[in-house]
Amino acid sequence: NAGVMQNPRHLVRRRGQEARLRCSPMKGHSHVYWYRQLPEEGLKFMVYLQKENIIDESGMPKERFSAEFPKEGPSILRIQQVVRGDSAAYFCASQPSRENTEAFFGQGTRLTVV
Amino acid sequence: SQKIEQNSEALNIQEGKTATLTCNYTNYSPAYLQWYRQDPGRGPVFLLLIRENEKEKRKERLKVTFDTTLKQSLFHITASQPADSATYLCALGVSNFNKFYFGSGTKLNVKP
C-alpha cells in the first residue's frame, strides 16, 4: 500500500513562471490537505479538499494560488507567476475521512524560485 | 492572536533518559492535539493523538498529556535512543476537523 506520493520532489522555477505540484493520496483516502513549510518554521495550513470540493481554503493566498482535487487523478496545487517568497517545501497529507484525524504526509515538494 | 509555542532550542539528552517536550498554546480551544515526528528533508509522521476530554495517552515508549486548563501538552519519550533524534511537532485540531495548526517544532538530540 503506497503512501502519499508527491511529485516532483524538487522544482525550480524562474520568477513569473507557473508551478504545478501534484499529490496522490493513499488508496481509499478522499480527503487532502496542503501545507507550506518555510525553513526553520512550522507547517502552515493552506487548503483542505475532498474529492471535487474545496472544503476550506482559508490559508491560501487569494491571488496566484489555486488547488483542485478532481474525481480522477491527483490533487494539484497551482502557483501562477511565482515570486521568490513562494520558495518553500509544500506538503500534502491525506485522511480516509474528515473525522479520522491521523493524517499521512507525503515527502513534500521543494520549490525554489530563482 | 492564536499562538502555538514549542521550545525552539534543541533538547539534548543522554541515551536511556526520558525526553520531555512541551507544547503551549494560547487563544485556541482545540478539539484534539497531535504529535508528529519530522526528519530532515522528509514529511511529518503521525505519532499520537489526544482528544480534549482525555488527560493522557500512551503508545509503547511514548506518552502524551493534555491539560486544557494550563493550555499545554507534554510529550514524553522514555528510554530514549539515538534513533529518536528528530524534530517533533505538535498540531492542534479544530472541532470542525477542517485543519490543524502546527507549532514550529523542537529538535531532539539523543546522544549515545
Is the CB of A42 less than 8 angstroms away from the CB of B98?
Answer: no
Residue of A nearest to B88 (CA): A42
More confident call, B28 vs B15:
B15
The C-alpha cell 507550506 sits at A36
Tell whether A90 is within 8 A of chain B (Cβ): no
The residue of chain A nearest to residue B39, with distances taken between CA atoms, is A107
Cell of B26: 494560547
pLDDT digits (tens, 9 = 90+) for A37-94: 987 778 999 999 998 899 999 999 999 999 999 999 999 999 999 999 999 999 999 9
Contact B46 A55 (CB under 8 A): no
Model confidence at B2: pLDDT above 90: no
Highest mean pLDDT of the ranges A26-40, A93-107, B74-88: B74-88
Please indicate if any CB of chain A lies within 8 Å of the CB of B28: no
- B82 phi, psi to nearest 5 deg: -55, -30
Closest Cα of chain A to B15: distance in Å? 25
Give the C-alpha separation, B34 to B51, whole Å: 9
Asked whether the beta carbons of residue A107 and residue B34 sit closer than 8 angstroms, the reply is no
What's the gap between Cα A48 and its chain centre? 9
Q: Is the separation of the CB atoms in B40 and B47 below 8 Å?
A: no
Q: Which three cell numbers stand for residue A50?
A: 475532498
Give the A:B interface size as CB pairs under 8 Å. 56
pLDDT of residue B27: 81
Between A110 and B68, residue with greater pLDDT: A110
How many CB atoms within 10 Å of residue A3? 15
- Cα A105 to its chain centre, rounded Å, is 10
Over residues B41-95, the pLDDT tens digits come to: 899 999 999 998 999 999 999 999 999 899 999 999 999 999 999 999 999 987 7
Q: Is A68 helix (H, G, I), strand (E, B) or coil?
A: strand
What pLDDT is recorded for position B16? 97
CB contact under 8 A, B97 and A105: no
**What average pLDDT does this structure show over B5-15?**
92
Residues in A touching B41 (Cβ below 8 Å): 107
Residue B40 near chain A (CB below 8 Å): no
